[in-house]
Amino acid sequence: MTSVEIPRRERLVARPKLEELMLGIEDKTERNERVYKAVRVYGYTLKEVAHASGLHYSTVSVIVKRVAGASKHQK
């Protein structure tokens, strides 16, 4: 059996630019959803998201955990 691992840089080549993800945010809820997607869906680091959003990386971490927790409770 052959391993079909795809290098991270190739997997993430089609993701949207972080600056585009953070454009046009109207409220905190929308910001938090986009921060969550940037980290969990598109694979950006906490540091990258923090820099693009103007937040501290620990704040980004808290947001990601809260959104993940909230989505678990909605199911």
pLDDT tens per residue across span 21-57: 999 999 999 999 999 999 999 999 999 999 999 999 9
Q: Where are the domains of the chain?
A: 17-56
Whether pTM > 0.85 for this model: the answer is no
What HEC string does the chain produce?
A: CCCCCCCHHHHCCCCCCHHHHCCCCCCHHHHHHHHHHHHHHCCCCHHHHHHHHCCCHHHHHHHHHHHHHHHHHHC
* Interaxial angle between packed helices 57-74 and 28-36, expressed in degrees from 0 to 180 and rounded to the nearest 10: 90
